[in-house]
Chain A
Amino acid sequence: MAIPKTISWSADNLDGPSLLKAMSVVVPEALGGTKPVVATVLTLGLYVKGASSPNWALMAQELGKNHPCRILVINPATPSGAARVDVTISATIAERPGAETPILFSECIEMNLKGSLSNHWIDFLQPLVRSGLPAYLWWLGRPPDPDFRWDLLSASGFTHLVLNTADHDWREWLPSLKNAIAHQMRVDDLSWQRFRDLRHHWAQLADTPEILKILVHVQSIEISLLDPACADWVWWLAWLASRFGWSLVFNAEQIPVELETDLGPVPIHLRSGPATTFEATWKEFRVSTTITSTELHSSVYQGHTRVSNVSEHRVSSTVQEDLQHLLNRGHDMLFSSALIRLLDAQKSQGGLTDA
């Protein structure tokens, strides 16, 4: 891990070539003319326009201390006035023993884009995306407009789109995600990352053949939500559907109301309740998981008799930790599979047209 020696530099009203030049000289100048060994393994863009969290600047700096990456903070400040960009560059340097060349562990380029650059930021950014390495774009604000140039974004070198469906209604994101996938971008959701413990928990439950049998033959799904705005249940259903080869059916509000399984339709009953609980029922058997902020507690019932019980401590993590986890592990193919179930459901319902 890097020793957090940080170098900072800022300038107003730069153009593209002078920004590139600044990036190549700021760190060596601060190191007395020594060119560091570059350790960054990816580019991470943070598109922060309309971001609900005001702490993205701090978050970017913290990420830079923990992950070897080039961070580009993209802040299209205002479309009015002349085109200009104000830049702050910070870098984390890891010293090495003896006379070894220091390592450029990470760099963070914070850009306030003004005038026409606030709309044409992709072109401006292109030279800053490290070539030949993965490039993630975390979109912190509202989903892009329908006329967003996904083709330009993809061509600029960004290979991954990251969102957080905990911040925005997942249904608003679906058209954008469909477009991103159509342009060969990989999509990941930080909210999905955070809920990995639920997937592990259900995988562990299904290691028991009797419980797996209940899931395979499921006849109804009951979902009780403490927080009606929370969409984790949607991803849980989409995950189950993708793993078992089922389809999801939406109602007019694009809410999943049914699973199409090999044995026929399975109704999904959604209600508000005093706790968040996911349940699957087959005949007199029922698997039920109650989710709190600290624990996953599951029981299996035969009629009214509880036949087994599993409790697990929950993994708590911050958004920043979720992002680091994603950057370390890379794209989660399970999310793609689950997302495709949702996109298929929306398409069947007539909510999406082909890109």
Chain B
Amino acid sequence: MAVDTPLINPLREGLVDGRRPQPFTLVIFGAAGDLAHRKLFPALYNLLLDHWLPNHFNIVGIARQPYSDDQFRHEVESAIRQFSRRPWEADEFSRFADEIHYITANFDDPQAYVQLRDILGQISKRQHIPHNYLFYMATPPSFYPKIAQHLGDAGLNRPVEDTDWVRVIVEKPFGRDLHSAQDLNTQLHQVFDERQIFRIDHYLGKETVQNILVFRFANGIFEPLWTHQYIDHVQITVAESLGVEGRGSYYDNAGAIRDMVQNHMLQLVSLIAMEPPVAFEADAVRDEKLKVLRAIRPFTTRDVAEYTVRAQYDSGLIDGTMVPGFLDEPDIASDSRTDTYVALRLLIDNWRWAGVPFYLRTGKRLAKRATEIAIQFKTAPHRFFSQTATPELEPNVLTLKIQPDEGIALRFGAKVPGPVVRIRTVNMEFLYGTSFADAAPEAYERLLLDSMIGDSTLFTRKDEVEAAWTLVTSILQGWARAKNPVPTYESGSWGPPEADQLVSRDGFRWRRP
């Protein structure tokens, strides 16, 4: 009697923590840079400590800084010591990677890719492991097309065997407008298939952002309320108290709308507003997110003037210390019109969200660091408490706190004890940090692991990126035509008065996170 070998490995089924990648080699372009040191090496080390890495794992770094393999290993070690969320353990690091190599080269040097191909081939041969390669572009975006092209020329863009895989992770910013994003997509697609490309938006790696989907779709009570019938409006705030912090030349070319709105904030909008996907799988989730982005009402030039606010921070006090204004920061042009603050009103033209405004605001040098999504519900339809001592009932607000105090709060009215009916607003609060004993992993840990496994659910797809840029580009074009001075706001405040007017026109006011 014969039995067929099952197509799916039954021993994988049901394993708690069953996501273990196959052996592979990670190639980091820009391995001497800040991202690799602050985020990638510590994330890999923490994945190792949590036993997520496969039994064979190698790193090849490429950058212009002249390092030997040993010097590069030392760099990796010191980065982990300095930036890892977990303490240094020499024994654990000793098995961090089977092999660590470094190539000193310019990214446009074809010979470097020949050398890389040789090293990768030797590693696979020495360790008897598949030719699985994960390329990480931790470089300035201008290098992405060149690196991709050279990888293609060296034949490193395609798997050696059918069972091997080759993937490439691309960091933001992914373009600076719709046209450049489309160009970049075209250039990458000349070398890689879409399924090989992992566009990283680290916000999606945050536990609290992923919890939006769990909160909405793993609980039965919220989704029936999640419509225009019950929701009055939505406010999304991403506030930073920091300034440009030495990234002046980058930031002056980007601004808050490119740096935060096009990627992080529109991702939050799409997660809040999407329909339930048919499965928690990459394309099912991304299809639904894309529908939201495409349903956002486009901005005409008049809409830009009416429903967007941009501003720059002026000097002011942050935590009691005087900080300079944006135009006085290093590497910022004295006549810069770059936005350090953006507020928008979005409308989503679909059945669920008809008539529900989404207010977005983000800025640097605001009063405090806070990221939250506040869903304000409509007030009770019949106010039979109106004759009581509480004339005005506050609406219910459900707040999803993304950072720094991760959690969920529901504001509702409760009776004040006593013979008279008085109603006071109270908060029911869930604190993420106190309800689970496990520390949350860093966003890069989750995203690196997903890319090793080949799960692109938490990465943005080409059409998502382009849909987001379509919206943002229409705003950028409207701003480019405007000749009025860019408003300013005092550092340490909550933004310019124009932003308050944006919401007060509709009868609302911004929350104080």
* Partner-B contacts on A (CB < 8 A): 1-2, 37, 39, 41, 66-68, 94, 103, 105, 196-197, 199-200, 202-204, 206-207, 209, 212-213, 215-217, 240, 243-244, 262-264, 308-313, 315, 324, 327-329, 332-334, 337
Decide if A212 touches B9 in the complex (CB within 8 Å): yes
> What chain A residues lie within 8 Å of B95 (beta carbons)?
313
Query: How far, in whole Å, are A156 and B7 apart by their CA atoms in the complex?
Result: 45
| Contact pick for B16, options A66, A207, A243, A329, CB 8 Å | A329
B15, B16, B431, most chain A CB atoms within 10 A: B16
Stretch at the interface among B65-73, B222-230, B244-252, B432-440: B432-440
* Partner-A contacts on B (CB < 8 A): 1, 3, 5-6, 9-18, 20, 22, 51, 54-55, 95, 128, 429, 431, 433-439
Residue of A nearest to B14 (CB): A334
Q: A94-B434, A216-B3, A324-B437 are in contact. Are A315 and B10 (CB under 8 A)?
A: no
| Contact pick for A327, options B12, B51, B431, B437, CB 8 Å | B437
Query: How far, in whole Å, are A68 and B51 apart by their CA atoms in the complex?
Result: 24
Decide if B5 touches A333 in the complex (CB within 8 Å): no
Q: Can you pick out 12 interface pairs between chain A and chain B where the beta carbons lie within 8 Å of each other? A: A39-B431, A41-B436, A68-B437, A200-B51, A204-B20, A209-B5, A262-B3, A264-B1, A310-B55, A312-B55, A315-B51, A329-B17
> What chain A residues lie within 8 Å of B3 (beta carbons)?
216-217, 262-263
Decide if A206 touches B434 in the complex (CB within 8 Å): no
Residue of B nearest to A38 (CB): B434
Q: A196-B16, A262-B3, A263-B3 are in contact. Are A243 and B435 (CB under 8 A)?
A: no
Decide if A67 touches B437 in the complex (CB within 8 Å): yes
> What chain B residues lie within 8 Å of A315 (beta carbons)?
51
Q: A212-B5, A213-B5 are in contact. Are A1 and B11 (CB under 8 A)?
A: no
Residue of A nearest to B48 (CB): A313
Query: How far, in whole Å, are A209 and B162 apart by their CA atoms in the complex?
Result: 14
Decide if B434 touches A328 in the complex (CB within 8 Å): no
Within the complex, the shortest CB–CB distance from A10 to chain B, in Å, comes to 26
Q: A209-B5, A216-B3 are in contact. Are A334 and B15 (CB under 8 A)?
A: yes
Sort A-B residue pairs by CB-CB distance and give the 9 closest, nearest first.
A39-B434, A203-B11, A67-B437, A243-B10, A213-B5, A206-B11, A334-B14, A206-B9, A203-B12
> What chain A residues lie within 8 Å of B17 (beta carbons)?
196, 200, 329
> What chain B residues lie within 8 Å of A263 (beta carbons)?
1, 3
> What chain B residues lie within 8 Å of A105 (beta carbons)?
434
Residue of B nearest to A210 (CB): B5
Taking A217-B3, A334-B15 as given, write out 18 further A-B residue pairs in contact, using a Cβ cutoff of 8 Å, ordered by the A residue number. A39-B431, A41-B436, A105-B434, A196-B16, A197-B51, A200-B17, A200-B20, A203-B12, A204-B20, A204-B55, A206-B10, A206-B12, A262-B1, A308-B128, A312-B55, A315-B51, A324-B437, A329-B17
Query: How far, in whole Å, are A196 and B17 apart by their CA atoms in the complex?
Result: 9
Query: How far, in whole Å, are A1 and B429 apart by their CA atoms in the complex?
Result: 17
Decide if B10 touches A244 in the complex (CB within 8 Å): yes
Query: How far, in whole Å, are A1 and B128 apart by their CA atoms in the complex?
Result: 42
Decide if B436 touches A328 in the complex (CB within 8 Å): yes
> What chain A residues lie within 8 Å of B1 (beta carbons)?
262-264
Query: How far, in whole Å, are A337 and B15 apart by their CA atoms in the complex?
Result: 12
Query: How far, in whole Å, are A2 and B431 apart by their CA atoms in the complex?
Result: 12
Residue of A nearest to B92 (CB): A313
Decide if A103 touches B55 in the complex (CB within 8 Å): no
Residue of A nearest to B434 (CB): A39
Query: How far, in whole Å, are A212 and B11 apart by their CA atoms in the complex?
Result: 9
> What chain A residues lie within 8 Å of B5 (beta carbons)?
209, 212-213, 216
Decide if A243 touches B55 in the complex (CB within 8 Å): no
Query: How far, in whole Å, are A332 and B435 apart by their CA atoms in the complex?
Result: 20
Residue of A nearest to B56 (CB): A310
Decide if B431 touches A103 in the complex (CB within 8 Å): yes
Residue of A nearest to B429 (CB): A37
B9, B20, B55, most chain A CB atoms within 10 A: B9
Within the complex, the shortest CB–CB distance from A247 to chain B, in Å, comes to 15
Decide if B18 touches A203 in the complex (CB within 8 Å): yes
> What chain B residues lie within 8 Å of A68 (beta carbons)?
434-437
| Contact pick for B18, options A41, A67, A200, A309, CB 8 Å | A200
B17, B431, B437, most chain A CB atoms within 10 A: B437
Query: How far, in whole Å, are A67 and B438 apart by their CA atoms in the complex?
Result: 9
Decide if B9 touches A203 in the complex (CB within 8 Å): yes
Q: A209-B5, A315-B51 are in contact. Are A103 and B434 (CB under 8 A)?
A: yes
